[in-house]
Structure 1
Amino acid sequence: MNDHYQFDAAGALLSTELPFPRRQGKVRDVYDLGDRLLIVSSDRISAFDYILPTGIPDKGRLLTAMSRFWFEQMDAGRIGQNAGGPNAEQSISHHLISTDVPEEVADQVDPKPLEGRIMVTRKASVVPFECVVRGYLEGSGWKEYQSTGEVCGVALPAGLKQCDQLSEPIFTPATKAEEGHDENVSFEVMCESLGEEQSSQLRRMSLAIYQDALKIAAERGLLIADTKFEFGIVDDQLILIDEVLTPDSSRFWAADEYEPGHSQRSFDKQFVREYLQASDWDRNSPPPPLPESIARQTADRYREGYERLTGQAFA
């Protein structure tokens, strides 16, 4: 067994331990390379604020490939061209430098397990808010609407059904939590923390990215119900960081299956959530391993979302 990598019985990559300073998130291992970051997308999967002991084979490679697809759309000018306002001269910048394994890493560890699942990125000072955009009423937004008729302080019309499309997308920020759930907040709370100018810029950029991505997804028969973006600051400029528009950060639905009034089939970890909800697990103790069939069906769902979006078979 390679000391730098931990796999589960099905071959899913659960953890990496490379000879560089590391911090771990729920899914990603982030390494400091000095002037850049190396972000490794593992096959870990989380649910109900727990990281499960079973991985989803190739999940990290699929997430990386989807992020790369969207960053390429930005580089091509299809996304975010007008996000800076009426006087903007260029599209949104992002942190991705390369998806190739750097030489200084390949010289010290076996690079093969990293291939297809890494991003080399610029370093940025992270904005401490998730920038959430909702085009459809689902998830925590649906729950809040049922209780208050609002989502993060945004009043919505009465009588909306679960998964209804909103008349226009709404920006609903959330605080970034190190552990547990992020907390939905109003735009006013964001302004109090960051100032109105930066908050307004983040809202404008987030809505522009979402609306442009919505058009690209629609061309491929997909709906993006909602998504969350993260931004950082480099040389006083806001740039898009982290993953972008993947099934871990967004809800993707098939347009030809869309039917409001109930939850939709989505291209993410739906099988995992449904299995755990139906199990005897109390959600207050370490979660049980997933059956092989659940892990396989979840992997298939991620793969289907990628192939629908890109029109390419995932190898």
Structure 2
Amino acid sequence: MNAIQETNFQFPGQKSFYRGKVRDVYAFDDKLVMVATDRISAFDVVLTRAIPFKGQVLNQIAAHFLKATSDLVPNWLLAVPDPNVSVGLRCEPYPVEMVVRGYLAGHAWREYRSGKRLVCGVPLPDGLRENDKLPQPVITPTTKAHEGHDEDISREEILRQGIVTSGEYEQLENYSLALFERGTQMAAEQGLILVDTKYEFGKLDDTIYLIDEIHTPDSSRYFYREGYESNQAQGLPQKQLSKEFVREWLIENGFQGKEGQKVPEMSDAWVIQISNRYIELYEKVTGMVFEKSDEPNILKRLELNIGRSLDS
């Protein structure tokens, strides 16, 4: 049950520190050091227990896909000095997340089921069922909240409010769809379907960069390709690799992140099950064997490896 709940380092030249839902971010003049902790969030709330190896899974999947898509979009990643750490360019983030959906699942399905046919300004046809493939991938952006819930927003509203300029937003859309297409191809090679995902971008010296993580279980949803068609035909749930199973467990236990609701207690057995599901996703998505970085003093290892990277 050895897991990273949080870090509190102080490095030479460090300018600031920010604790996100699952990442601890150390800022320097021109670099960011992102520590993928083992915290887990759902419904924009950090849950009570950290999940062993979750941060390593996220960090290494993200690095895998950032390297595999660097020919499509410039990205922030410079080095991975530790299984839980990425070092990259310090960009100015755009305050929107680009959510790309190829199938009607998760939040979009819940909106559709409630009767909405316009999700983030994108019209959806009548007659769709949960997990149906959409006629074509759609972008349903959200605002990026530092605290609390991210909010759905339309392309038109982003431009009307001047959150992103028209030209830059068009570039973000093009980049997002190209990344989704590459992610779809790579998923298919592993017998998976990339259902939906989100991308974040930043700007540095007039260049747009892909930042943060991509195609991880925290930012994406995958179905197994085998059995997809027959499950849809029979109206059965899809076998999926994502953290949707955590959300479903929370809903079953009376929690959806709403005011007054209490996060349910997580047993050791449930924490181990989540950890195993994350490792399964790593191996299935990348096609590589997961090597557990199981060191007794993880924080000391982190601090040492980050320090070496900053000195190099």
TM class by shorter chain equals 0.7 to 0.9
For structure 1, the residue ranges without an aligned partner over 5 or more in a row are 1-9, 81-91, 101-114
1:255 and 2:225 correspond: yes
The separation in 1 between residues aligned to 2:268 and 2:133, in whole angstroms, is 35
Aligned to 1:303: 279
Aligned to 2:83: 116
Aligned to 2:6: 15
User: What is the CA distance between 1:145 and its match in structure 2?
Assistant: 2.3
The code of the aligned residue for 2:47 comes to L
Aligned to 2:242: 268
2:254–2:261 contact (8 Å) kept in structure 1: no
The separation in 2 between residues aligned to 1:207 and 1:166, in whole angstroms, is 14
Aligned to 1:50: 45
2:31–2:88 contact (8 Å) kept in structure 1: yes
Q: Name the SS of the counterpart of 1:215 in structure 2.
A: helix
Aligned in 2, Cα 1:205/1:277: closer, same or farther, shift over 3 Å? same
1:90-134, Cα deviation, whole Å (9 max, x unpaired): xx100000001xxxxxxxxxxxxxx30000010101101001100
User: What is the CA distance between 1:12 and its match in structure 2?
Assistant: 1.1
Aligned in 2, Cα 1:129/1:257: closer, same or farther, shift over 3 Å? same
Counting matched residue pairs gives 278
RMSD: 1.7
User: What is the CA distance between 1:280 and its match in structure 2?
Assistant: 5.7
The code of the aligned residue for 2:55 comes to G
For structure 2, the residue ranges without an aligned partner over 5 or more in a row are 292-312
1:268–1:298 contact (8 Å) kept in structure 2: no
The separation in 2 between residues aligned to 1:170 and 1:181, in whole angstroms, is 21
Aligned to 2:205: 235
Q: Aligned runs of 1:25-64 on 2, under 5 Å? A: 25-64=20-59
1:204 and 2:174 correspond: yes
The separation in 2 between residues aligned to 1:288 and 1:54, in whole angstroms, is 10
2:40–2:46 contact (8 Å) kept in structure 1: yes
1:180-214, Cα deviation, whole Å (9 max, x unpaired): 22111111112222222111111111011101110
The separation in 2 between residues aligned to 1:73 and 1:63, in whole angstroms, is 15
The separation in 2 between residues aligned to 1:133 and 1:26, in whole angstroms, is 21
User: What is the CA distance between 1:266 and its match in structure 2?
Assistant: 2.5
Q: Name the SS of the counterpart of 1:15 in structure 2.
A: coil
Q: Aligned runs of 1:137-216 on 2, under 5 Å? A: 137-146=104-113, 147-192=115-160, 193=162, 194-216=164-186
The separation in 1 between residues aligned to 2:255 and 2:175, in whole angstroms, is 40
1:96–1:120 contact (8 Å) kept in structure 2: yes
The separation in 2 between residues aligned to 1:142 and 1:270, in whole angstroms, is 13
TM-score by length of 1: 0.83
User: What is the CA distance between 1:157 and its match in structure 2?
Assistant: 1.7
Q: Name the SS of the counterpart of 2:171 in structure 1.
A: helix
